[in-house]
Structure 1
Amino acid sequence: MDSPHGAAVRAEDFGLKGPRGWVFRDVRLDAGPGSLIAVEGPSGSGRTCLLLALTGRMKATEGHAEIAGHRLPRHLGAVRRIAALGPVAGVNELDQSLTVAEQLREGALLQRRYEGPVRALLRPRGERRTAARARIDAALAAAGLDLATLPKGERTSVRDLERLEGVRLSVAIALLGAPRLLALDDLDLKLSDAERAEAWTLLRSIAAAGTTVLAVCSEAPDDVTVLRTGPAEAAEDTEDTEDTEKGADDALAEAGRA
């Protein structure tokens, strides 16, 4: 029997300490393939850094995690190969100067390069184009983005997309590589209540299809696995909170330079 496509995500006393203190610590999780996991907390609480650490983009300093059996922080490269990122400010963002079609083509070209450029170049150009189009269409369908509904169709500029449309486009690009783990930052940022519900419905459908999903948010729905970041109300003071925020900013800046 084939193993599930999604990645199991496990963490034990997982933490990251920077020059100004702990960014996150004591993270524990045991989620099976195809789970929908929310990283919940206020902005500046280390939630984005936790997402980057669990996807192999940032190196933790305490404890360990396992993503589809790949142990972190030792096997960062192996985890990066099976985990796809949605937009993360300063790390992985949509190019506002491109059209939707150009952004999708760029994503498909990058994915083909990572899959094995020599084999890909040996295939006839028409076959490569057809395969890329099929992959894009499947990813758009999974992300629930109908290009015909956009103001200028696929020629719509990325900068003109509504926030939820941008989320769907980012998800589609991430899905082009058939990742085992899909990670999104600031899922509910600037979304109305109705749009937020749509976004979570989208992520539930992706998880139900077998891909494990990890999403940073301010407030998670009741039916998902939740990791909470930030100091406990009774155990930390204002100075600790400020150190966490500064440490998270430092760690993100370092990730952006990597």
Structure 2
Amino acid sequence: MDSTPRGAAVTAAGFGVKGPRGWAFRSIDIAAAPGSLIAVQGPSGSGRTCLLLALTGRMKSAEGTAEVAGLPLPKKIAAVRSVTALAHVPGVAELDPALTVGEHLRERALLQGRFGGSLRALLRPRRERRAEARALVDAALEAAGLDLESLPKGIRTSVRDLERLEALRLSVALALIGGPRLLAVDDTDLKLSDDERRQVWAMLRALAAAGTTVLAVCSEPPEGGEEAEDVVLVRTGRSGAAPDGAASDGAAQSTSVQSTSVQSTSVRNAAAQNAAVQNEMDDDEEGAADALAETGRA
């Protein structure tokens, strides 16, 4: 493990994940320093979520190499999970619409206190443990930009009553309670207005600037695109796929950000966008489910 106190360095070379129905993604190269904002851009079905899950130790890779905080994947996959956290990942890290904001926060703080600390920490007086939990929650809410007083019923607001941006902020806050070195956020700009997207990227940039490495899946890159000096941009896309579902050596897209070459070979054949292929793998969430099932983590 590297000696960076907060953010985790992320590197990958020829990285790929394959499920029962073919490649989710392959040939991904990344070099991001601790505290970087990594934006994974691509259309639905291009392996964005699979890449996010693989780099956080939730999915086994099939080719290439990758390291997170100096921990090689998949050899140290459990250790990688311990220094990373997921937010807003459909089917994997979701909010329960039946619970309130306060119930979510209390549950996460309880889990963090029970399993996230040392035995010595568990033996401290209850008052000290409660004060520490409140401090963790308050810091996470502030970092995520979620103002409880602005919610319809404050901390008693049900998740089902949250706006999309509020739900995303809550999901990020819950993930931050664990103090991850790498925070991975899925669907950062899904169904958000232009102003809401700007708010989300401002939040993620602030988290990265404070030291936490952020990996964010998006349909469109943050303002500045490839020219943004504070963003490492990774693109996923579609390329040739064999009839049996195996990916071909389609053309790779590439970009350079902060002297970092990031290129990706996509996993679908643009000419095969018919019902048969969509039944094989309609989107990246389905690909993620396939690969998770194969590794016994579904």
What's the TM-score once normalised by structure 2's chain length?
A: 0.81
Runs of at least 4 residues off by over 6 Å: none
Match of 2:185 in 1: 184
Match of 1:139 in 2: 140
Tell whether the 8 Å contact from 1:9 to 1:66 is kept in structure 2 after alignment: yes
Residue segments in structure 2 that go unaligned for 5+ positions in a row: 241-249, 252-268
> Is residue 123 of structure 2 the alignment partner of residue 122 of structure 1?
yes
CA deviation vs aligned residue, 1:88-142 (integer Å, no higher than 9, x gap): 1111101111111110011111112222464343122221111101110011111
- Pick which of 112-121 and 98-107 moved more: 112-121
Shift of 1:254: 5.1
Cα 1:116/1:5, change in 2 over 3 Å: closer
Q: Distance in 1 between matches of 2:76 and 2:139?
A: 30
Match of 2:292 in 1: 255
Tell whether the 8 Å contact from 1:45 to 1:245 is kept in structure 2 after alignment: no
CA deviation vs aligned residue, 1:159-208 (integer Å, no higher than 9, x gap): 11100111111111111111100000001011001000000000000000
CA deviation vs aligned residue, 1:61-106 (integer Å, no higher than 9, x gap): 0001000100011111010000010021111101111111110011
SS in structure 2 of the partner of residue 88 of structure 1: coil
Match of 2:198 in 1: 197
Q: Distance in 2 between matches of 1:252 and 1:211?
A: 27
Q: Select which of 231, 239, 244 maps to 2:238.
A: 231
Match of 1:82 in 2: 83
Q: Distance in 2 between matches of 1:183 and 1:3?
A: 18
Question: What does 1:31-180 align with in structure 2 at a 5 Å threshold?
Answer: 31-116=32-117, 118-180=119-181
Residue segments in structure 1 that go unaligned for 5+ positions in a row: none
- Pick which of 223-232 and 45-54 moved more: 223-232
Q: Distance in 2 between matches of 1:18 and 1:253?
A: 5
Q: Distance in 2 between matches of 1:134 and 1:253?
A: 39
SS in structure 1 of the partner of residue 85 of structure 2: strand
Q: Distance in 1 between matches of 2:155 and 2:239?
A: 46
Match of 1:16 in 2: 17
SS in structure 1 of the partner of residue 192 of structure 2: coil
Tell whether the 8 Å contact from 2:88 to 2:186 is kept in structure 1 after alignment: yes
Q: Distance in 2 between matches of 1:205 and 1:246?
A: 30
Identity %, equivalent residues: 63
Match of 1:27 in 2: 28
Tell whether the 8 Å contact from 1:40 to 1:47 is kept in structure 2 after alignment: yes
Higher relative contact order (CA 8 A, sep 6+): 1
Q: Distance in 2 between matches of 1:247 and 1:16?
A: 12
Q: Aligned pairs, how many?
A: 257
Q: Distance in 2 between matches of 1:192 and 1:161?
A: 16
Tell whether the 8 Å contact from 2:48 to 2:284 is kept in structure 1 after alignment: no
Cα 1:247/1:159, change in 2 over 3 Å: closer
Shift of 1:23: 0.7
Shift of 1:246: 6.3
Q: Distance in 2 between matches of 1:247 and 1:90?
A: 12
Cα 1:246/1:136, change in 2 over 3 Å: closer
Q: Which has the higher helix share?
A: 1
Tell whether the 8 Å contact from 1:16 to 1:24 is kept in structure 2 after alignment: yes
